Protein backbone atom coordinates (compact mmCIF):
# COMPACT_ATOMS: atom_id res chain seq x y z
CA UNK A 1 0.00 0.00 0.00
CA UNK A 2 1.02 3.61 -0.35
CA UNK A 3 -0.29 6.58 1.60
CA UNK A 4 0.47 10.10 2.69
CA UNK A 5 -0.42 11.84 5.92
CA UNK A 6 -0.64 15.45 6.95
CA UNK A 7 2.65 17.09 7.91
CA UNK A 8 1.76 17.33 11.60
CA UNK A 9 3.29 15.82 14.74
CA UNK A 10 2.08 12.26 15.32
CA UNK A 11 0.35 11.82 11.95
CA UNK A 12 2.48 8.84 10.89
CA UNK A 13 2.35 7.38 14.41
CA UNK A 14 -1.47 7.36 14.31
CA UNK A 15 -1.44 5.33 11.10
CA UNK A 16 1.27 2.90 12.20
CA UNK A 17 -0.40 2.31 15.58
CA UNK A 18 -3.39 0.86 13.70
CA UNK A 19 -1.20 -2.01 12.49
CA UNK A 20 -0.40 -2.80 16.11
CA UNK A 21 -4.04 -2.48 17.15
CA UNK A 22 -5.07 -5.11 14.58
CA UNK A 23 -1.97 -7.32 15.05
CA UNK A 24 -0.75 -6.77 11.49
CA UNK A 25 2.94 -7.29 10.83
CA UNK A 26 4.71 -4.77 8.59
CA UNK A 27 7.44 -6.39 6.53
CA UNK A 28 8.62 -3.17 4.87
CA UNK A 29 8.21 0.59 5.19
CA UNK A 30 9.82 3.16 2.92
CA UNK A 31 9.34 6.91 2.70
CA UNK A 32 9.83 9.11 -0.34
CA UNK A 33 9.61 12.89 -0.60
CA UNK A 34 6.69 14.31 -2.57
CA UNK A 35 7.93 16.19 -5.62
CA UNK A 36 7.28 19.92 -5.56
CA UNK A 37 5.89 19.70 -2.01
CA UNK A 38 8.71 20.18 0.51
CA UNK A 39 8.56 18.35 3.85
CA UNK A 40 5.76 16.03 2.67
CA UNK A 41 6.30 12.33 2.16
CA UNK A 42 4.56 9.27 0.78
CA UNK A 43 4.96 5.97 2.56
CA UNK A 44 5.17 2.55 0.92
CA UNK A 45 4.24 -0.26 3.31
CA UNK A 46 4.17 -4.04 2.85
CA UNK A 47 2.15 -5.99 5.38
CA UNK A 48 1.27 -9.58 6.17
CA UNK A 49 -2.48 -9.94 5.78
CA UNK A 50 -4.66 -11.42 8.48
CA UNK A 51 -8.38 -11.55 9.27
CA UNK A 52 -8.29 -7.92 10.49
CA UNK A 53 -6.64 -6.36 7.45
CA UNK A 54 -9.81 -4.96 5.89
CA UNK A 55 -10.87 -3.29 9.15
CA UNK A 56 -7.39 -1.85 9.62
CA UNK A 57 -7.31 -0.41 6.09
CA UNK A 58 -10.69 1.22 6.59
CA UNK A 59 -9.44 2.87 9.76
CA UNK A 60 -6.12 3.90 8.20
CA UNK A 61 -7.92 5.71 5.38
CA UNK A 62 -9.43 8.10 7.96
CA UNK A 63 -5.94 9.43 8.80
CA UNK A 64 -4.51 9.65 5.28
CA UNK A 65 -4.58 12.37 2.68
CA UNK A 66 -4.12 9.79 -0.07
CA UNK A 67 -4.30 6.01 0.10
CA UNK A 68 -3.81 3.29 -2.50
CA UNK A 69 -3.98 -0.44 -1.83
CA UNK A 70 -2.07 -2.44 -4.44
CA UNK A 71 -3.71 -5.72 -3.42
CA UNK A 72 -2.07 -8.87 -2.19
CA UNK A 73 -0.38 -11.99 -3.44
| Domains: count for the chain | 1
Whether the per-residue pLDDT at 73 is higher than 70: the answer is no
Query: Which pLDDT belongs to residue 39?
Result: 86
| Residue 73 within any structural domain of the chain | no
User: Do residues 12 and 70 touch, judged by C-beta distance below 8 A?
Assistant: no
Q: Is the pLDDT of residue 25 over 80?
A: yes
Q: pLDDT tens digits, residue range 26-42? A: 999 999 999 888 889 99
- Residues of the domain holding 8: 2-68
Residue 25 covered by a domain: yes
48 pLDDT more than 70:
yes
| In a domain? residue 11 | yes
CA angle in degrees (0–180, nearest 5) for 28-42-72: 45
Query: Which CATH number characterizes residue 62's domain?
Result: 3.30.70.260
Residue 45 covered by a domain: yes
Q: 33 - beta bridge partners? A: 41
pLDDT above 70 covers a percentage of the chain that reads 99
Amino acid sequence: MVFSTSNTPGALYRVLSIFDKYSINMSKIESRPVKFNPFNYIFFVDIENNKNTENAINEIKKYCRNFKDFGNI
